[in-house]
Amino acid sequence: MNEITVDGEPLPFVEGQTVAAALVAAGRVAWRTTRTGRRPRGVFCGIGVCFDCLVTIDGVGGQRACLVPSRPGATVTTATTVTTGEGGDE
Amino acid sequence: MSEPADLVVVGAGPAGAAAAVTALAGGLRVALVDSGTAVGGQYWRHPPEHARAAIPTEDLHHGLREYRALCAALEEGRAAGRLDLRTAHHVWSAVREDGGFAVHAVDRREAPRETAVVLRAPGLLVATGAHDRQLPFPGWDLPGVLTVGGLQALLKGGGVAAGSRVALGGTGPFLLPVAAGLAARGVEVVAVCEAADPRAWLRHPGALLRNPGKWAEGAGYAAALVRHRVRVRPRTAIVAAEGDDRVTSVRIASLAPDGSPRPGTERRVEVDAVGVGWGFAPQLDLFLPLGCELADSADGNAVVAVDAGQRTTVPGLYAAGEACGVGGAALAAAEGRLAGESVLADSGAAPAPGRRRTARTARTAAVRAAVDRQRAFARAMGLAHPIPPAWSSWLTDDTVVCRCEEVTAGAVRAACADGGAHDHRQVKQLTRAGMGWCQGRMCGPAVHCLVARERAYVPAERLVATPVTLGALADLDEQPPEPADHSEDRQ
């Protein structure tokens, strides 16, 4: 069974699924909180346009979960708040 | 591919793939770039090649014969060393340079790691498609509310249904294949709310009569929906989504001819997911900084102006597909072929062995006729499925309009009434609507409709079309100007 780790918990995925697809397949529709209203958000456009589904993958922030393929062993952290700016950079 | 390309094609959907195949058939060297992990764009979205056995999606597609033919032709071009196929490459800028173009991308095959790549060629063909156009409504920012395209992408790309009881709403023929696809995967599609009146199509009999293939496609979806007992409800809309941490119900209302909800018709339907879409907004990011002239289209969008051969007003720059006007995959592929033929004609490429120049002329004329015919259909579609004039009547003052910056309808209205804002750019300056992560891609058309509905929507110019890390930009200076092939640009 292929697995990624989401906030420390193993999450199975089918080879070929994006991180967002794996999360949705597991019944999760929200994994982030908005900056101002503290509202839950997950996947909306599903094609990389809306940036609602942002997560940190292998330590690199600001990743669109709907675009990045799940890879065995990848570590995904869902942030309570995603700040502006590219998380992966200094 | 070791020699530089004659043409860079951005976008490997129906338009870009058809254009690349046409240019390859004429003997050109082509670099084809797409952000997806496989050729096909949104229409023919597939799981990556190696995963197709695990995620079967064939039954969700239409026109797969053409898709396979395009893929086979691309593979042939690659084997012959004339196609440089770059999937999982995100283009963030295209600029004119030394009489040609430089296309800046990041290679994200090893995402989240990214590597800067520059592709250069005398000719550039941009076929970046479109995304769902959204109209906000109370609760549309609740988790579980997705774009119809998002539901479709999860299904076609990952084999995942985002809910088990789903309501779809908005306008346009695209609602039908999404409803049929979800139903085919066992999802209970409890409502398909089509805001338009189907009789609006009867005002365009010519466009209908000239495109019998479109009827057949529509009839196919209708039959599939009947089989799954899914009802399309014309002249209705999802006017609110409700729930605490995720959507649990929607409110559906019948619409008056102007699109305002008819009092007393609202009813609540329990759901666990929702899909919404009001036609499409063309993806013009790469065109605007290059200074292309735009034209109005029938659906309220500004689109790239092209001549009869898909040439933009910028010499050497061609456009095909939804960026020239939303019209569906068949039109996009035909425009791609036409654009490819123009590239060949303009580059002075001799006809390939065994092909005569007169044959090319005849072929071009036939493709052009197909494009004209289908554009008439696209125009009728735009007029038959408009944004309802009174859609904003279902907004409350606290409805979020800009999802990123959480700017409400009340704030946008105040910017117009008190701040004197006349277009979406001024609203952005006053309220931050359109200033967040998505840079107005989601809320731009809606803000525009609230402020300046009578004009076509022109998106804001974005110099960087997709986020790119400073690290990748820093690499740029140290890179050799032309990465020779895939194995070398990963050093």
Record: contact A30-B442, CB cut-off 8 A: no
pLDDT for residue B491 is more than 50: no
Q: What is the pLDDT of residues B319-368, one digit of tens each?
A: 999 999 999 999 999 999 999 999 999 998 766 666 677 887 888 899 99
Let me know: does B25 contact B352? Beta carbons within 8 Å: yes
Record: contact A44-B50, CB cut-off 8 A: no
B181 Cβ contact partners less than 8 Å away, ≥ 6 residues apart:
B60, B152, B155, B156
Residue B150 touches partner A, C-beta closer than 8 Å: yes
How many whole angstroms from its chain centre is CA B353? 36
pLDDT for residue A44 is more than 60: yes
B285 Cβ contact partners less than 8 Å away, ≥ 6 residues apart:
B128, B459, B462, B465
Q: List, in sequence order, every residue forming a beta bridge with B124; answer none if it has no partner.
A: B8, B317
Whole-number pLDDT of residue B483: 46
CA B175/CA B224 separation, integer angstroms = 13
Exposed/middle/buried for A27, CB within 10 Å: 0-12, 13-18, 19+? Answer: exposed
Q: Which of B88-92, B140-144, B167-171, B434-438 has the lowest mean pLDDT?
A: B434-438
Whole-number pLDDT of residue B353: 61
- pLDDT > 70: percent of chain A: 88
- Place B453 in a pLDDT band, splitting at 50, 70 and 90: confident
pLDDT for residue B481 is more than 60: no
CA B21/CA A54 separation, integer angstroms = 35
Whole-number pLDDT of residue B1: 58
Q: What is the mean pLDDT of residues B240-265?
A: 97
pTM: 0.94
- Place B216 in a pLDDT band, splitting at 50, 70 and 90: confident
Q: What is the pLDDT of residues A60-78, one digit of tens each?
A: 999 999 999 999 999 999 9
Whole-number pLDDT of residue B136: 98
| pLDDT, averaged across chain B | 92
B306 Cβ contact partners less than 8 Å away, ≥ 6 residues apart:
B312, B318, B319, B324
CA A85/CA B74 separation, integer angstroms = 38
Q: What is the mean pLDDT of residues B144-170?
A: 97
pLDDT for residue A88 is more than 50: no
> Looking at residue A82, what DSSP letter applies?
P
Whole-number pLDDT of residue A69: 96
Q: Which of A51-60, B207-216, B376-385 has the lowest mean pLDDT?
A: B207-216
Whole-number pLDDT of residue B196: 96
- Tokens 């409350």 sit on residue: B396
Whole-number pLDDT of residue B490: 36
Show the DSSP H helices in B30-103 as ranges.
Answer: 64-79
Record: contact A46-B55, CB cut-off 8 A: no
Chain B environment of A39 (Cβ under 8 Å): 141, 406
pLDDT for residue A86 is more than 50: no
Nearest beta carbon to residue B51 from set A15, A57, A86: A15
Record: contact B403-A35, CB cut-off 8 A: no
Indicate if the alpha-carbon torsion angle B300, B302, B306, B310 is positive or negative: negative
Task: Take residue A42 and report the two structure tokens written for it.
Answer: 């997950």
- pLDDT > 70: percent of chain B: 95
Nearest beta carbon to residue A29 from set B144, B441, B467: B144
Q: What is the mean pLDDT of residues B308-318?
A: 97
- The sheet with strand B7-10 has its strands ordered as B83-86, B30-33, B7-10, B123-126, B317-319
Q: What is the mean pLDDT of residues B68-86?
A: 98
Q: What is the mean pLDDT of residues B59-79?
A: 96
Nearest to B428 by CA among B444, B441, B442, B417: B444
Residue B157 touches partner A, C-beta closer than 8 Å: yes
CA B25/CA B18 separation, integer angstroms = 10
CA B137/CA B398 separation, integer angstroms = 10
Q: What is the mean pLDDT of residues B313-320?
A: 98
- Establish how many alpha carbons lie within 13 A of residue B296's alpha carbon, considering only the half-sphere containing its beta carbon: 7
Record: contact A17-B55, CB cut-off 8 A: yes
CA B350/CA B14 separation, integer angstroms = 25
Residue B436 touches partner A, C-beta closer than 8 Å: yes
Q: Compare B464 and B276 and report the one with higher pLDDT.
A: B276
Indicate if the alpha-carbon torsion angle B342, B343, B344, B347 is positive or negative: positive
Hey, of B87, B142, B160, which one would you mutate to test binding to chain A, going by the most A CBs within 10 A of its CB? Answer: B160
A vs B: CB pairs below 8 A: 146
Q: What is the mean pLDDT of residues B114-119?
A: 94
Whole-number pLDDT of residue A89: 33
> Looking at residue B461, what DSSP letter applies?
P
pLDDT for residue B400 is more than 80: yes
B291 Cβ contact partners less than 8 Å away, ≥ 6 residues apart:
B313, B314
Whole-number pLDDT of residue A87: 37
Residue B429 touches partner A, C-beta closer than 8 Å: no
Q: What is the mean pLDDT of residues B48-71?
A: 93
Whole-number pLDDT of residue B188: 98
Residue B180 to chain A, least CA–CA distance (Å): 19
Residue A72 to chain B, least CA–CA distance (Å): 13
pLDDT for residue A81 is more than 80: no
Asked if residue B112 has a cis previous peptide bond (ω within 30° of 0), the answer is: yes
Q: Which of A43-57, A68-82, B73-87, B293-307 has the lowest mean pLDDT?
A: A68-82
Hey, of B403, B408, B473, which one would you mutate to test binding to chain A, going by the most A CBs within 10 A of its CB? Answer: B403
Whole-number pLDDT of residue B363: 85
